[in-house]
Amino acid sequence: MKKIGIMTSGGDSPGMNGAIRAAVRAAINYGMTPYGILSGYKGMIEGSIFELKHSDVSNIISRGGTILQTARSLEFKTEEGQKKAVANLEKYGIEGLVVIGGDGSLSGAKVLDEKFGIKSIGIPGSIDNDIYGTDVSLGVDTALNVIMDSIDMINNTASSHGRTFVIEVMGRHCGYLAVMAGIATGADAVIIPEVEPDLAGIAEKFKKRAADCKTRNILIVAEGAGSAYDFGKKLQEAGTFDARITVLGHVQRGGFPTYFDRVLGSRMGAAAVEGLMNGKTAVMTGLQGNQIKFVPYEEVFSKRHELNNNIIKLLDDLA
């Protein structure tokens, strides 16, 4: 394999630039020519492809987001769009792809492999940590640090005013961020998609805290479990809580990548290139224990990343 394409797709996550940098430099070290594909599958269809040199990835490991940009593409879901993308890859002589992104991005890579024989290795980039086959995805650690800092600051004013704060974090289908942030910040209650919420129980708990002169409450809600505004309203109706709502939103995707995400991106980027060089395809790099493993796409899509029940129990015991 002489030429490979590197792309980021879907939602951005801190650590992507570290993976890009490692993939480019590993490719050059192995005698390959790396090409960047701007804006994911959209750029692949439009032919936004260019050679990446060693200097192009200097000083990017500390930057959040992705220098290759990212976008979603409805056109790529069509047969015509896929053929345009493949034609552009062939135009540049690209034989394999390093695809950095979430399940939608990896699904596109799976299509290219199965229908057109384009080899690919995926790198999981999803701050929700909802991708099967890896203990943690790129960007999760940075997102958790941003969430933790934000809640710590909110906690200060909550304590000063004796208020209840309902804080919404990301997590459409997975409550990992909410649970881990709840443990790390000492939150009083957490609501996640995996567990049916008990608002009455939470309201009763807050009332007991108030009776013990603990007037500050922190409730963390994963977005997939419902709206923080709805939960805040229900809590106010259930008791005399002066509730305030904070939706952290896309600030969770920002920030400088942590040490962990910089190293993880570097390890996965280099492993993906080495895997392509050794003939691997239709697999994703996954961190399992302290090892980078190759997980088949079929396994990634057929199984679900489950929250550890012991972690949920720990949260309940500590809250």
pLDDT tens digits along 135-159: 999 999 999 999 999 999 999 888 8
196 pLDDT band (50/70/90 cuts)? very high
Is CATH 3.90.1150.10 the right assignment for the domain spanning 141-254?
no
Structure-token pair, residue 7: 């792309």
Q: Convert 196-264 into a string of H (helix), E (strand) and C (coil).
A: CCCHHHHHHHHHHHHHCCCCCEEEEEEHHHCCHHHHHHHHHHHCCCCEEEEECHHHHHCCCCCHHHHHH
Question: How far apart, in Å, are the Cα atoms of 295 and each of 115, 256, 298?
Answer: 20, 28, 8
Domain pair 3-139+257-302 / 141-254, same fold: yes
pLDDT of residue 240: 63
Least confident of 52-61, 86-95, 309-318: 309-318
Question: How far apart, in Å, are the Cα atoms of 274 and each of 51, 133, 159, 280?
Answer: 19, 19, 52, 9
Domain ranges for the chain: 3-139+257-302, 141-254
**CA dist., res. 102 & res. 71, Å (int):** 12
Structure-token pair, residue 198: 């008990």
Average pLDDT, the chain: 95
Output the DSSP codes for 169-200: E--SS--HHHHHHHHHHT-SEEE-TTS---HH
Burial grade of 33 (CB within 10 A; 0-12, 13-18, 19 or more): middle
Do 179 and 190 meet the contact criterion of CB atoms below 8 Å apart?
Answer: yes
Least confident of 123-127, 140-144, 160-164, 277-281: 160-164
Average pLDDT over residues 196-223: 90
pLDDT digits (tens, 9 = 90+) for 220-258: 999 999 999 999 999 888 876 788 999 999 999 988 999
Nearest to 73 by CA among 39, 107, 101: 39
pLDDT of residue 93: 98
Enter the pTM of the model: 0.94
> Which parts are annotated binding residues for ADP?
21-25, 186-188, 214-216
Average pLDDT over residues 268-293: 97
211 pLDDT band (50/70/90 cuts)? confident
Average pLDDT over residues 60-71: 96
pLDDT digits (tens, 9 = 90+) for 177-192: 999 999 999 999 999 9
CB atoms within 10 A of CB 63: 15
Least confident of 4-8, 204-208, 279-283: 204-208
CATH class, range 3-139+257-302: alpha beta
Q: By percentage, how much of the chain surpasses pLDDT 70?
A: 100
**Catalytically annotated residues:** 128
Average pLDDT over residues 281-308: 95
Structure-token pair, residue 212: 């013990």
> Which parts are annotated binding residues?
11, 21-25, 72-73, 102-105, 126-128, 163, 170-172, 186-188, 214-216, 223, 244, 250-253
Phi, psi of 25 (to 5 degrees): -70, -35
**CA dist., res. 9 & res. 105, Å (int):** 6
> Which parts are annotated binding residues for ATP?
11, 72-73, 102-105
pLDDT of residue 143: 97
> Which parts are annotated binding residues for Mg(2+)?
103
DSSP state of 65: S
pLDDT of residue 209: 87
**CA dihedral over 80, 82, 85, 89, signed as positive or negative:** negative
